[in-house]
Amino acid sequence: FADEDALTYVDISGECPRPKGNPARNDVLRKAEKQFAEYFAGKREEFDLPLSFEGTEFQKKVLKALQRIPFGQTRTYGQIAKSLKSPAASRAVGTACGRNPLSIVIPCHRVVGSNGSLTGFGGGLAMKEWLLKHEGLSL
């Protein structure tokens, strides 16, 4: 989903109601569609899209930190919390990840548990595992 200026939501659950008829397309959605196709074809490692998301200041900081996790790498919730100078905020990082409206573009799938385990993901753990393997990680 997008407004005229930015991508606002990515549905990875498959549960979002689909509009009837021919959905309106704008430049942001066309660019997003192209970049998703490139990502899934293995030809893109990061997204270059205008984004719009809401949340608390801490949640916005978490989402910006997630954007800095390189393709094919992971970080733990604790590492993200420490990078934000809030080392005791691992659970708050998890909450922010769970509220990420722009999954894949803002790569919350690259965040794992402290022992490297796969933990919650809006699209399900099987999709999280697939995305990480797609990015070259062996799990």
Could you list the active site residues?
108
Give, in order, the Cα–Cα distances in Å from 37 to each of 30, 31, 47, 99, 111. 11, 10, 11, 24, 23
Residue 43 CA to residue 36 CA, distance in Å, equals 10
> Which of 28, 71, 33 is closest to 51 using CA atoms?
28
Burial class from Cβ neighbours inside 10 Å (0-12, 13-18, 19+) for residue 44 reads: middle
Q: Cα 98–16–22 angle (5° rounding)?
A: 140
Whether residue 28 contacts residue 5, with contact meaning beta carbons closer than 8 Å, is answered with: yes
